[in-house]
Amino acid sequence: MGQSFEHRRGWVEQRLLLLTQVFEVVHQWHRLFKGTLLTQKFAKGEPVAGYKLDSLNDTIAEYRRRLMDISWLKVIHEFKTLFTGPVGTLEDVTRYCAHLGKKRIAHAA
């Protein structure tokens, strides 16, 4: 008969919940942005080298902070709403510059 690990059940459940939350943060971020090569690799379930884990954890913590920062998300949403395509139309850029109180450089899109 196999050994019972029922005493570890709570710990395993907590770790799975934490991992699920981390994947959710990365997934939400990648819905808005490309992310880094490291977070893309993590999101695909590919192994991450041990020496890169600190960097990955720092990046995910920053993603979580930004996703929870309403003012930061508001700016991003405003930008994405105003501009279409990779850059936006010339009129969109001109309007956005006027909104910021800046003058668009004539030869810059």
Residue 107 phi, psi dihedral angles, 5° rounding: -90, 0
pLDDT digits (tens, 9 = 90+) for 41-97: 999 999 999 999 999 999 999 998 888 877 777 777 777 666 655 556 667 777 777
Residue given tokens 């942005």 in the structure block: 33
Q: What is the CA radius of gyration of the chain?
A: 21
Rounded distance between C-alpha atoms, residue 60 and residue 77, angstroms = 20
Q: Is the pTM of this model over 0.75?
A: no
